[in-house]
Structures are given as structure tokens and as C-alpha cells.
Amino acid sequence: MTVYLGDSGCIELKRSSEQEVSITLLDGDVSVEKRRFSPEEDLAGTFISGDQVDIATVDGGILHLVDGHNFNDWRGFVYVDPLGSLRLYDNFQDSVTGELGAALPLVNWSDKQDLTITTRGDSFTPLAKVTSYQFTTERSTVNTTHLGNQFVQQYEAGLIAGQGSIECFWEHQYRMCDPDMCLDSAEFSAYLAQLCIRLTQGADFLGRFYVYRDNLPGGSSVWYESECIVTSASLSVNPSQAITSTIQFVTTGPFKLLTGIPPAYLAQEDGISLILQEDGESRLVLAE
């Protein structure tokens, strides 16, 4: 009999995407010194630090925003400061931290610019500081007494739903000399709490909940995969104890219990080497 320990599991999140917002930049909306910009529109509750976005001009002209970038669009990551202004970054980790020195230098254009900002979610990132999680599946029976034969065959098995909760330590940014800074693209529990109060794009995310993850080449893993929505996020603050967070969620669509090699990789014929599968692309790239 094979026994699995809970320390072999983990959670991966993928941010919701394909939400487009129209903004207008005027002369003076960009602070070159602070490397941030504030459009005329109120973006409160629209973007969360760490979101990957596409910024493009409406008329197809040159985007005058990132210094040295002479194209009609730009893709990268945003940091939202306490005032609601945006900073731009090349990578996820810097955008979550929001350090001024790592932000991309901007230019202040004298003319009006009509822009669109579209969020993207191309990859899954691990959720850091998780202490435990639960994923529950349930089937609700449906009374088919008064339904025709066709509907009985469709619904007699009942409706399947999923829900769960996540327990984790509270964290919202990296610190200097933090040993976790070596982790690549780790998501913070603060993101799930922010989803609860997200106005424009809602509180949904895509999740992979690993029961067991084998990181060896060709190893077999077990995980749930589903679209979810955060229903509640609570904080527990006690003197002399670590601040913890509890997040409740429900599934919003079909979910799967999968086994095998995680979908980020494809095994080659030799059974040892792996090929990286790019999300949303047909091409394959050899992984180091």
C-alpha cells in the first residue's frame, strides 16, 4: 500500500484574464521621477499588483509611455500603489514587491493618448506560505419525478459541485534577504484576499490543487483542476503569533481529478527528458 504525506502537495494559481479597460492619459498624468502613471479614470478595484497586462493605443499609433519602447503596444506586469497609480515591470516578482528601482522608466507625452489595458493570465504560479488546504466534492440529487424521460436521463445522476478552504500564513511582499526570494514567481496569500474586494473583474481564479506532486522526470502527480471563485477571506491576528489567513472558495464550472505528468511538461520518448509546453502556443521549446 502506498502512503502519501501532506507535505507532497501544493497549490498553483492562474490569474483571471481577458478583461479590457479603456483609459485616457493626458499631459502630466505620468510621473517620470516616481516611475508611475495615473490615468483620468478611477482604476480602484480593477487591477491587482502582479497582474500581467497588455497596454495598447486605440488608434494604432506609437505608445508613448515606456522609455525607449517605440511600438503601439507593451506587455508586462503592473504594481498598484496605495494611491491607485500604476508602475510597470518586466517580471512578476518585481511587480509584487513594487520597488522603485526595478520599475521601468517612463516618459511624459504632451498629447492625449487613448489606451486600452487588457489583463492576461498565461501561466500558473505556486501559492506560497500554505499550511493546509481542503478540497471537497459533492453530488446533489435532483428530484426527477415530474420530468420527462429525456430529462430524467440527463439529471438523475445529480449535480456535481466543489468547494474548499485554504489555510496559509499572511504575506504580501518580499523583503530583502528573504530566503523565499529565490522562489520563482511565488503568489502571495494577499492576492486571494484582494480578489474578494475586486470590483471590475470579480473574484475568480484558476486553481490546481495537488494531492501529490512528483518532481522527478516522468513522475506521476495527482491534482484537482478547476475554475474557482473566492467567497470569503479572513485574517487571524493574535499577539506573539504569526498572522494567518483562511480563504473559502467554490468551483464555478467543471473540475477534474487528474493523474500523470503536470501539463506544464511533456515527456519525450526516452522517458527521461522533458519538453516545455508553452501555454496558448502551438510551438514546443526544449526545457533545460
Asked, for residue 159, whether it belongs to a domain, the answer is yes
Give pLDDT, residue 83: 79
Dist CA 37 CA 17 (whole Å): 22
Residues 224 and 171 in one domain: yes
- pTM (2 d.p.): 0.70
Asked, for residue 1, whether it belongs to a domain, the answer is no
Give pLDDT, residue 191: 86
Give yes or no for a contact between 159 and 139, defined as CB atoms under 8 angstroms apart. Answer: yes
Task: Write out residues in the chain with pLDDT < 70, as ranges.
Answer: 1, 17, 140-159, 173-185, 199-201, 263-288
* CATH assignment at residue 156: 2.30.110
Q: Are strands 86-89 and 73-80 parallel, antiparallel or unpaired?
A: antiparallel
The residue from 58, 93, 120 where one domain ends is: 120
C-alpha torsion angle, residues 32, 38, 44, 48 (rounded to 10): -30
Q: How many CB atoms lie within 10 A of CB 243?
A: 12
Give pLDDT, residue 269: 46
Give pLDDT, residue 288: 44
Residue ranges making up the domain that contains 53:
17-120
Residues 178 and 111 in one domain: no
